Structure 1
Amino acid sequence: MSRISPVTGHYVTLEVDGCEYKVFYNQNGSGQPLICQHTAGCHNHQWRDLLEDDDIMKDYLVIAYDLPRHGKSDPPLNKEWWKEEYRLTADHYVNFIVALCDALELENPIFMGSSFGGNVALQLALRHPDRFKAVIPVEAAAYAPGFYLDWWHHPHANASQVCASGVWDLMAPMSSDKDRWLTWHYYSQGAEAFKGDLYFYSVDHDLRDKLGQIDGEKCPVVMMTGTYDYLTPPSATKETADQIKGGSFIEMEDIGHFPMSENYPVFKKYLVEALQRIDTQLT
């Protein structure tokens, strides 16, 4: 039996807000496009198990990309990016995702993101409901203040160790040691971008007074959060979903803030439920 994965990797070049990016993405499957955003300071490897799940691949074209400055996607090619502090804004984040979907010619994709990727899913539902079939915000809420901190890059700390260790207690204890350590490892590689990502997460993202403008009947919003996530607890996600017209919430038992990488078998059953809710809502 072949041990070669069916997952393929590609680069695509696009321009966003005057910045030229060469963006890496993995894909597998066929059918309804499902585009996936990793968590802050990480990369698309978090979606490794989803990308090789034959049950999902028979109905969905799954695309998991590296945001610029993460994984295999470099900072902008056409500017001296090292001369300014990286701070990801909601405007640029949203514009990037729409430009990527356009460049890949994705028709009516479902967008799924986790943590700061879940928060931008809410931004997409608000700003571009006609561009997406639905959004699945994972570990997300209307507002998540308090995490844009200087000590992520403090000169007295090993930034990679600090960023990686910051995620450990956010995972459920019943997740396997193998997957928890892999998730830790991913974060040990992404320290440089982490703080800038958290500018969006904790400063620029605030939809508390705009949730009523999101039409979850036009662009379904199915939110999911794990019971072991104290960063964005299930109550915060449910409170957000309850304020969205047609919004939906799923509480994921026995899982934490990184469900797709810390315990994919548990995450899968909830993802299938979310996808079924979307299909039901649109039929």
Structure 2
Amino acid sequence: MVKHSPVTGRYVTIDVDGMEYKVFYLQNGTGTPLVCQHTAGCHNHQWRGLLEDEEITRHHNVIAYDLPRHGKSDPPHNVEWWKQEYRLTADHYVNFIVTLCDALDLRDPIFMGSSFGGNVALQLALRRPNRFKAVIPVEAAANSPGFYLDWWRHPHANAAQVCASGVWDLMAPQSPDMDRWLTWFYYTQGSEAFKGDLYFYSVDHDLRDELKNIDGRRCPVVMMTGTYDYLTTPEESEATARQIPGGVYIEMEDIGHFPMSENYPVFRIYLKEALRIIRERTSK
């Protein structure tokens, strides 16, 4: 029996800070746009469960894109990108997301990102609160130092294996073996971009002195972190949310650093609660 997924994929070409990007994204659903950013060194397949969730896509237009240099999105086409080291900055990251939302003509989207995608969600709430209905930072914190390391691309190491193996213990043991191995597999494919992503994650992202300037009433911020995440601990995420006026924190039990791909059935329980909170706060 042939079963076709309702998820469709398309490319859109955008210009960000003088860089021309051909960006691939997956889409399914109708209603409020829900824009999803994958974790560092990975791609939009992490959101496969959400993209095919009939209950959520009934009310949300779910869009999961590949950041340039990840998945099916190439490096910039108009520059000799191979002649310089890739280092993702907060400025460029924010500009990319806003430009993509503009290009897709998304009105009042909710932005959700995980890990370094969760950290940029905080950046968006600070810098562009009027562009987003709300943000959902997953596995995020105000600051994540210590992970921008040369050995992610050391010539004596198998970079793909090093990057992938680094994610294994960050997943909860309760998560299904199939989904844990798929998450591992995704990471074997993204080693080239991983270190550059971590420049944003561990060097350029630091909002410790800026959290008080994020208005969680103007742009609701609902943070979610798994109990098995020792990279960005629940304590760090909760402390971040507490310093944001109007910020909300949800702790996700029995799940780790890659909740949307390692155990989507558990993740969706908490996501539905986050979306409920956002509806309540934005319907007034």
TM-score interval (norm. to shorter): over 0.9
* Residue 2 of structure 1: how far off its partner (Å): 4.7
Task: Give the AA of the match of 1:256.
Answer: G
In 2: Cα distance, 1:41 partner to 1:164 partner: 9
Structure 2, unpaired ranges of 5+: none
In the alignment, the residues of structure 1 paired with residue 104 and residue 77 of structure 2 have an alpha-carbon distance, to the nearest angstrom, of: 19
Partner of 1:140: 140
Three-state SS of the structure 1 residue aligned to 2:180 is helix
Aligned to 2:114: 114
Q: Deviations over 1:177-206 (max 9, x none)?
A: 100000000000000000000000000000
Partner of 1:47: 47
TM-score by length of 1: 0.99
Amino acid of the residue matched to residue 48 of structure 2? Answer: R
In 2, the alpha carbon distance for the partners of 1:57 and 1:166 equals: 32
Q: What's 2:200 paired with?
A: 200
Pairing of 1:1-283 with structure 2 (within 5 A) = 2-283=2-283
State the Cα RMSD in Å. 0.6
Task: Note the alpha carbon deviations across 1:30-67, whole angstroms, 9 max, x for none.
Answer: 00000000000000000001000101110000000000
Alignment: residue pair count: 283
Paired residue type of 1:7: V
CA distance in 2 between counterparts of 1:282 and 1:85 reads 41
User: Which amino acid in 2 is paired with 1:60?
Assistant: H
1:15 counterpart SS class: strand
Q: Distance in 2 between matches of 1:35 and 1:206?
A: 23
Secondary structure, in 3 states, of the residue corresponding to 1:183? Answer: helix
- CA distance in structure 2 between the partners assigned to 1:230 and 1:277 by the alignment: 26
CA distance, structure 2, for counterparts of residue 203 and residue 56 of structure 1:
35
Report the secondary structure of 1:61's partner residue. strand
Distance 1:120 1:213, change over 3 A: same
2:183 maps to a residue whose letter is T
Instruction: Provide runs of 4+ in structure 1 moved above 4 Å.
Output: none
- Equivalent pairs: percent with the same residue? 78
Q: Distance in 2 between matches of 1:57 and 1:173?
A: 29
Read off the aligned partner of 1:246 and give its amino acid letter.
Answer: G
Structure 1: which amino acid aligns with 2:87?
R
**Alpha-carbon distance in 2 for matches of 1:62, 1:2:** 24
What is the alpha-carbon distance in structure 2 between the residues aligned to residue 114 and residue 75 of structure 1? 21
CA distances 1:105-157 after superposition (whole Å, capped 9, x unpaired): 00000000000000000000000000000000000000000000000000010
Query: How far apart are residue 213 of structure 1 and its match?
Result: 0.4
Q: CA deviation at 1:281?
A: 1.3
Q: Cα distance, 1:282 vs. partner?
A: 1.7
1:280 deviation in Å? 1.0
Q: Which amino acid aligns with 1:136?
A: I
2:169 alignment partner, SS class: helix
* 1:166 counterpart SS class: helix
How far residue 76 of structure 1 moved from its aligned partner, in angstroms, is 0.2
Q: Distance in 1 between matches of 2:39 and 2:178?
A: 19
Specify the SS of the correspondent of 1:142: coil
The DSSP-based 3-state class of the residue aligned with 1:71 is: coil
User: Is there any run of 5+ residues in structure 1 with no aligned partner, and where?
Assistant: none
